[in-house]
Structure 1
Amino acid sequence: MARYTGPVCRLCRRESMKLYLKGDRCFSDKCAYERRSYAPGQHGQRRSKLSDYGIQLREKQKIKRIYGLQEKQFKAYFKEADRQKGVTGTNFLILLERRLDNTVYRLGFANSRSQARQLVRHGHFLVNGRKVNIPSYLLRPGDVIAVREKSRQVGMINEALEALPRRGVMPWLDLDKDKYQGVFRTLPTREEIPLPVQEHLVVEFYSK
């Protein structure tokens, strides 16, 4: 399945919640979801009752769109989480949070995960002193993520850092704005991951 390239604001409206896919625009009065909080399309304002399967599907789609993944990759993370000890749903979210592109976004070096993915692919970041341009690279506790010296003048990185106070830094990360670097200090707990999602529904969806 190809990556979605249409208007991302339609995705927020389809999932009936802000997915924060467009950075600063999502915090402004230009946000499409704030203007039209119903589903897109000709019949978007109709009320429809979802089946149990439909509820599970929408929750899966919601998480997949938040992290910007394709179905094959998303399902691979679920299988890996299912193999690990502990609660599968929590393991699943922790795996997604460990991605390099997500951490770059969480540290405030990008305004959205899609922007973070682009910056990583273009080689603007170092992990433990080595250039990594793979957005899906999984970080471990203690890893240091830094902006390359020659990339510290990139406009979108500095603009994102200026807007960071609006989002804040997650408790499992440490950020040094002056040095343009952060530390993936520890694995997050479910309570620390600020996502209004019900990951157990994804477990139920894939367990059928």
Structure 2
Amino acid sequence: MARYTDASCRLCRREGEKLFLKGERCYTNKCSISRRPYSPGQHGQQKKKLSEYGIQLREKQKARRFYGVLEGQFNKYFEMAASKKGITGENLLQILETRLDNVICRLGLATSRPEARQLVSHAHFTVNNRKVNIPSYLLKVGDVIAVKETSRNSPKTKAVSEITGSKVIPKWLEFDADNLTGKVVALPSREDIDLPLKEHLIVELYSK
């Protein structure tokens, strides 16, 4: 399974804002954006004026990095979004939001999307009572996500629950904290997605 293995904080610095890839660390003064608010590399502190294409490209890269998606998979998602009825940019974000690893993070069962991806890969969750270990699994309305029975009392699960216990759950999801289960009650609308993304720039990039 292909994935990004370099330093996560470099991605935040490259995009010039927090992508929340390191969980709780992103909320402390250890965050790399707070300490070095410029791009990585020896020329990172030089200010560059981006072209129209450059602005659109950076927006696509930022979306990819928020959700932890590689280039080929992102292209596939865009094709899916373009073939659906509705606004292509909003369709794209809706598809990205319904990935299993993202929903695990939204439910507060992981402190970040990379951590959610790892937990899913290690088969700690079920969907509709069936084990699923594919982070990119796309959920549908009515799907029920649960922490696997054998994983509920693990130190890791308890630690994550303590950290994320006060997390606000999006209205398109339901969460039962006592049983560590969640449910997709609706597809997310654009208003439900709180990430600072300008999806129309991504659509313009692919339209070239």
- Report the TM range for the smaller structure's normalisation: over 0.9
Map 1:120-159; keep pairs closer than 5 Å: 120-159=120-159
Q: CA deviation at 1:142?
A: 1.3
State the partner residue of 2:53: 53
Deviation at 1:165, TM superposition (A): 4.7
- Name the SS of the counterpart of 2:4 in structure 1: coil
Match of 2:193 in 1: 193
| Unaligned stretches of 5+ residues in structure 2 | none
Q: Deviations over 1:80-132 (max 9, x none)?
A: 00000000000000000111111011111111111111111111111111111
Q: Contact 1:110–1:156 at 8 Å: present in 2 too?
A: no
Q: CA deviation at 1:154?
A: 2.6
Q: Kindly, what percent of the aligned residue pairs are identical?
A: 57
Secondary structure (helix, strand or coil) at the match of 2:29 reads coil
Whole-angstrom CA distance in 1 between matches of 2:133 and 2:11: 27
Task: Give 1:3 deviation, angstroms.
Answer: 3.3
Which consecutive unaligned segments of at least 5 residues does structure 1 have? none
CA-CA distance at 1:167 after TM superposition: 4.0
- Number of the residue aligned with 1:113: 113
Of stretches 167-176 and 10-19 in structure 1, the one that deviates more from structure 2 is: 167-176
Does 1:40 pair with 2:40? Answer: yes
Counterpart residue number, 1:24: 24
Query: SS of the counterpart of 2:175?
Result: strand
| 8 Å contact from structure 1 (residues 38, 44) kept in 2 | yes
Q: Deviations over 1:151-179 (max 9, x none)?
A: 01233332222222564211211111110
- Letter in structure 2 aligned against 1:127: V
Quick one: distance in 1 between partners of 2:3 and 2:181?
A: 30
TM-score (norm 1): 0.96
Shift, 1:68, TM fit: 0.5
Q: CA RMSD in A?
A: 1.2
**How many positions carry a matched residue from both structures?**
207
> For 1:104 and 1:138, how far apart are their aligned partners in 2?
12
